[in-house]
Amino acid sequence: MDLHLKPSSVKSKKLYIARMMREVGPDPTTEELRDFLAAFENPSSYNNCIKALRLYFRDFLGDYDRVRTFKFCRVDYGPVRLYSVRELREFYSALDTERDRALFLLYATSGRRRTEVLDLRLSDLRLEDRVIMPVHSSATKKTWYSFFNEEAKAALEEYLNVRQDPKRSGRLFPMAWAEKSCLFRIAMEKTGLHITPQTLRFWFANEMARLGVPDRFIDAFQGRIPRSVLARHYTDYSLENLKAIYDRAGLKVLS
């Protein structure tokens, strides 16, 4: 709690720590930890594991010396591909559940981060007004008012008619951890298009810019505005003003 981590971040780090416990035990040496890390071939997974180990040994056990020498490796993400509207429509047609169609359009028309959408609760959504209310920010990520278009609203209404939440979690999109890690996998296999929440977020920013929305408002929609700026320019970033700017843009995916 002191580190202000989101539930999804806590769960991810617990999985890495649990794996470490299974493979090298609860009291490994630095050399054993180095061998454990060597098993991670994916640079992002390697870096995420280091983050989890630092959290556990430095912040929980107070034993930073054991992990002090571990350095992050460089991740070459390469350029993010900007998909065309035609490709987005082709991909959307390959989505075979109400949930995936609602997720796809919410990502594409809100510009929210992957985990931000998956962590949404029903109470965070004002469906009739097409507004996503600000939620508690983590230490590194911030959110403000976000919006979605009529296409996403219609898809959400269809999804909510069949939504199941046996654990009564209250989440808008309740799903198992394994499902979260492979969103849209079937549509990717059907179309050969590698469209992810990250690429939809990138598409949103580019499309809103093409529609004439100033960068500072796109940044606000996507949670890149510091709280201090929001406070100083409250009128510019008020719900009413942002909603008017969003609606004037006329963002569309399917039509």
pLDDT of the residue at 141: 53
Query: Distance between CA 115 and CA 7 in Å, rounded?
Result: 10
Residue-level pLDDT at 4: 65
For residues 142 and 84, the model is more confident at 84
Cross-sheet strand order for the sheet of 125-126: 125-126, 131-132, 146-147
Closest CA to 198 of 131, 111, 95: 111
Q: Choose the weakest-confidence range: 3-7, 132-136, 158-162, 250-254.
A: 3-7
Nearest to 66, CA basis, from 48, 54, 51: 54
Q: How confident is the model at residue 247 (pLDDT cuts 50, 70, 90)?
A: very high
**Beta bridge pairs of residue 171:** 121
For residue 42, give the DSSP letter: S
What tokens were used for 33? 């930890």
Does residue 26 register a pLDDT over 80?
A: yes
**pLDDT, tens digit, for every residue of 202-228?**
999 999 999 999 999 999 999 888 777
Q: What percent of the chain has pLDDT over 70?
A: 94
pLDDT score of 1: 45
Which of 221, 233, 245, 17 minimizes the C-alpha distance to 106?
Answer: 221
pLDDT of residue 89: 98
Position with higher pLDDT, 72 vs 126: 126
User: What value, to the nearest 5°, has the Cα angle with vertex 229 and ends 225 and 230?
Assistant: 75
Q: What is the mean pLDDT of residues 77-89?
A: 88
